Amino acid sequence: MCFFIFYITIFLSAFPYYGKCDCRKEDLLCDYKNLERAPFDIPRENISILDLTGNNFKVLNDQSVRGIPDNVERLILSHCNITEIHPGALVQLENTKLLHLDNNHIKYLPQNIFAKENKLEALSLMYNSLMKIHPRAFVYLQNLQELDLRGNKLEEIDKRVLEPLLNLRILYLQNNQIKYVGASNFPTIPLEKLSLVDNKIINLERSAFSNLGELRNLFLSHNQLEKLKNGTFLNLGYLEALTLNKNYIKQIEIAVFQDVPILQSLQLKTMFEMCSSALHVRNCYPKGDGISNQEHMLAKPILRICVWVMGAIGCTGNVVVLLGRHFAPTNNVVHSLYLRNLAFSDLLMGVYLFIIAGEDLNYRGVYLRYQWAWRHSFVCKLCGFLSTLSCESSVLILSLVTWDRFVSVTQPLARKQPSPKTAAATLLLLWCIATLVAFAPITPLGSDYFGDEFYGNNGVCLSLHIHEPYAKGWQYSAVMFILINTMALIFISYAYLRMINEIRASGVACRSTRQSQDRDKVAQRFGIIVLTDCLCWVPVIAVKLIALAVDFE
């Protein structure tokens, strides 16, 4: 009888398969057939890959998989609406090497799912709803080399789950809800690639990966790390690639990367300055921030030239204006006072540019080694103060000048020109406001809100915060560069358009009068000033808005 059954089996296997599934050489495609269990008419021989994607198994037990040949090397059960796996469900798959259980709704893995003797080398459980794995779920998977658990809801790494995986080389745990990684989470296994990307890891304990001595690639990006402590990467002597970008790292202890002597690639967050903690790493990213790089404070030659040229023009031109307005006789004292204050405001920006240009020469070729000391220095804070004072005072004074001209042009008979004392008092008030705004970030009282890098956030000590839009004090920066500048821009644009209309209207009535010509010249002169300032403000406002929008989560 046994001989007869064996003979019939051999006889039937010689004929092509004509069941529900599509046969392509050694691949049997049973995908999207609305099956609730594996078909019993699947050939028992010459099937290498069995694809059951997109069916409706729901529960995986010994009955639902009984029709699967025990010699299938690759079994695909993706998108099968599986919600539950029973113990012993896959014990018959002794020869399967690759098993795909991804994109289902599995919440729990019980114990003893697999056969004691199996050849499974790769297991994919990604994009399920796994919240817990029994400590003995993988107990017989000594041959497993790759385990994919990404896209689940795991909150911790259980050492007992991984202990039986004596040959595991690759482990994907990204896109889970893991908050903590310590030395007790990983057993001693020959892991070479570990991904913990896109979790909620706040803290890495010292010696967190010390049991993974053969690790070569470690991915920790898109977490919530704020600090890296010495000893975090202890015993990772073979580590070659490490990613830490898209975290909130503010502090890296000085010896944290000394435990990874052959590290070849290090991906940090947007601040390239942190590469100073890993000078032995050949490829540390990012290389720069568009302004500075690892060699120079001003990375591009064109940028250095522009800083020197603009500094020279800013200082020379505004000194000439100040001296000219001081010594030259004038009939309009208030108008001259406004222009002198505006020139002094712009002169401060020229001084700032000269200081930056000089410091660039000082750190040329060695910037990365000294960037921290520079960004936390008194001179950098002074540069930040000068640039902010110049910017804010310029905005306020230009708004005042525009208001004065606006009233003079639109209501020439309704209001007298302010006296020099009144104008001086108004200007003093505006300078006090601008000074207070610029000085607030460097006062001890504001250290909790602004931190110690409000001006030292970048190599040129600007408070614009383009590369880290949501750094400490970002709301203050946004109000300065977006709200105040935008309001001033709208007001000045409106006032100037009104003045043009008034001048044109009055010019029609008194086209030949000297008063009309004088008005026209005054409006044109201030129009040029307004236009140039607007051309400066609009890009700044736009860049700040884009930075906030792009980095918003």
- Contact between 268 and 246 under an 8 Å Cβ cutoff? The reply is no
User: In this predicted structure, what is the pLDDT of residue 471?
Assistant: 83
Is 205 within the bounds of a domain? no
Q: Is 347 left (phi over 0), alpha (psi -120 to 50) or beta?
A: alpha
Burial of 258 by CB count in 10 Å (0-12 exposed, 13-18 middle, 19+ buried)? middle
User: In this predicted structure, what is the pLDDT of residue 518?
Assistant: 63
User: In this predicted structure, what is the pLDDT of residue 14?
Assistant: 37
- Which CATH number does the domain housing residue 84 bear? 3.80.10.10
What range does the domain containing 117 cover? 22-177
- Choosing from 162, 177, 192, the residue where a domain stops is 177
User: In this predicted structure, what is the pLDDT of residue 522?
Assistant: 61
User: In this predicted structure, what is the pLDDT of residue 527?
Assistant: 66
Is 196 within the bounds of a domain? no
426 is written with which tokens? 């108004």
- Choosing from 127, 157, 177, the residue where a domain stops is 177
Provide the domain count of the chain.
2
Count of beta carbons in the 10 Å neighbourhood of residue 496 = 21
Give this prediction's pTM.
0.76
User: What DSSP element (H or E) covers 267?
Assistant: strand 265-267
Helices and strands (H, E) in the chain, number of each type: 11, 21
Is 140 within the bounds of a domain? yes
Segments of the chain scoring below 70 in pLDDT: 1-19, 270, 329-330, 413-415, 506-527, 529-530, 533, 551-553
User: In this predicted structure, what is the pLDDT of residue 2?
Assistant: 38
Is 71 within the bounds of a domain? yes
- Contact between 97 and 120 under an 8 Å Cβ cutoff? The reply is yes
- Choosing from 177, 211, 237, the residue where a domain stops is 177
Is 28 within the bounds of a domain? yes
- Which CATH number does the domain housing residue 513 bear? 1.20.1070.10
- Quick: pLDDT tens for 166-205: 999 999 999 999 999 988 899 999 999 999 999 999 999 9
Is 198 within the bounds of a domain? no
Question: Cα angle at 142 between 138 and 147, to 5 degrees?
Answer: 60
Query: What's the CA gap between 386 and 438, in Å, rounded?
Result: 8
Instruction: Please enumerate in sequence order all residues whose Cβ is within 8 A of that of 60, keeping only pairs 6 or more positions apart, or say none.
Output: 77, 82, 84, 85, 86, 89, 90, 101
User: In this predicted structure, what is the pLDDT of residue 526?
Assistant: 61
Nearest Cα residue to 292 out of 315, 280, 274, 266: 274
Is 460 within the bounds of a domain? yes
Query: What's the CA gap between 66 and 88, in Å, rounded?
Result: 12
Is 459 within the bounds of a domain? yes
Angle between helices 301-327 and 333-362 (to 10 degrees): 150
216 is written with which tokens? 């070569």
